[in-house]
Structure 1
């Protein structure tokens, strides 16, 4: 099982050191993704889901080369029922409606992500493609292709990993770097443990924090700890009353 906390840290570290190795390829794609009309459509979906518009943009590019006829979920046409995983979605009335469904109702449920740090963002994107690379301790080309953080290794088909194959698609991290160089509004939040439910290493199940009402209040003058001198004094005055 992949330790997501460790993966977030690893992705944040890689991003801090990453350099584009195919900058000439990234630039025109980045311009297209941050273009006024495209950005407006991404912002419409962002307003409905809470997913940052630039994250929606890179998913759109990776899943269907920014085709407005393709679903954000897997690239299938959104005006008919999808046949690839996640299958059986749709048809939808618009690209935007399909995008909302992909982000809200399909794994990895991007709309639920609250960690908008670069490590959290890249790990969400990696989960979108699958954690097969992370389970091998290898950088995912879905994220790092086109940067110096990736050399080779690719799943050439389901369940078949070729360590010598090289992914020719541009990765999400490089796209975000190239987009941020053009659009200064692209910013990431601070990493915070409170943004993400911790995972139990053995089971992988999220730890559900206790509801504040169920947590005993800290001892104080008005709420002394049982058995303390303060509790005895409070009891004495209560009896006297």
Structure 2
């Protein structure tokens, strides 16, 4: 079983060192532009998954084709045949995206660590942990950077060490997107979906009662209030 904490640390370290060896800017500009960003943000508001995570998954799975399912890039109007299988059909891209993020492994909507390491590791889980099990950087994340050389699962469960992934990886896309859109940050904070209020902050414990500040409802509080009423003190 893959140690996800160790993988998060490894991905964060790769992020700090990675250099792009391909051009990510053109695709990144398309992903952050309206109306695409508006649609990603609408799904983010319902799921709690950052919109930029949704954007790069959409690019990797379907080259941002709005007629496909976010889960695996299968046609929106058909039942999916690739993992996750048996999903759909869906009327809208947003419906399929919600299903993929909320109802399908790795259940991205349950993630609460959206730091760089946490985000990249959730993306890696989205594609599968086969590369991590082999001790290799995932091309789903690192293709197009100096962190990846070769090796690819050419179909579900079939790995070919000689194949080089030709798609742009999520890490390079995210880095290019942050340069175009300064609202993209990796704070690691919990993201609360719309309509789900965050838990209220706990109230501070009451101060220890004393003769000057007796506990509310106590006999001491009664005499203090009586003293104030008789002598007009406030």
Fold conserved (TM > 0.5)? yes
Q: Please name the residue that 2:12 is paired with.
A: 12
Deviation at 1:156, TM superposition (A): 2.4
Distance between the aligned counterparts of 1:114 and 1:131, measured in 2?
A: 19
Equivalent pairs, count: 191
Distance between the aligned counterparts of 2:91 and 2:154, measured in 1?
A: 33
Task: Tell whether the 8 Å contact from 2:112 to 2:188 is kept in structure 1 after alignment.
Answer: no
Deviation at 1:190, TM superposition (A): 3.8
The counterpart of 1:122, out of the listed 104, 109, 120, is 120
Distance between the aligned counterparts of 2:168 and 2:37, measured in 1?
A: 19
Distance between the aligned counterparts of 2:112 and 2:138, measured in 1?
A: 22
Q: Secondary structure, in 3 states, of the residue corresponding to 1:120?
A: helix
Which sections of structure 1, spanning at least 5 residues, go unmatched?
196-220, 222-241
Deviation at 1:36, TM superposition (A): 1.3
CA-atom RMSD in angstroms: 1.4
Regions of 4+ moved over 6 Å: none
Residues 118-176 of structure 1 show CA distances to partners (whole Å, capped at 9, x for unaligned) of 00000000001100110111000000000011111112233332222211110000000
Q: Secondary structure, in 3 states, of the residue corresponding to 1:36?
A: coil
Q: Please name the residue that 1:237 is paired with.
A: none
Residues 1-47 of structure 1 show CA distances to partners (whole Å, capped at 9, x for unaligned) of 11111000000000011111002xx1110010001100000000000
Q: Please name the residue that 1:42 is paired with.
A: 40
Q: Secondary structure, in 3 states, of the residue corresponding to 2:153?
A: strand
Q: Please name the residue that 1:149 is paired with.
A: 147
Instruction: Select the structure of larger CA radius of gyration.
Output: 2
Which sections of structure 2, spanning at least 5 residues, go unmatched?
191-207, 209-234
TM-score of the superposed pair, with normalisation by structure 1: 0.76
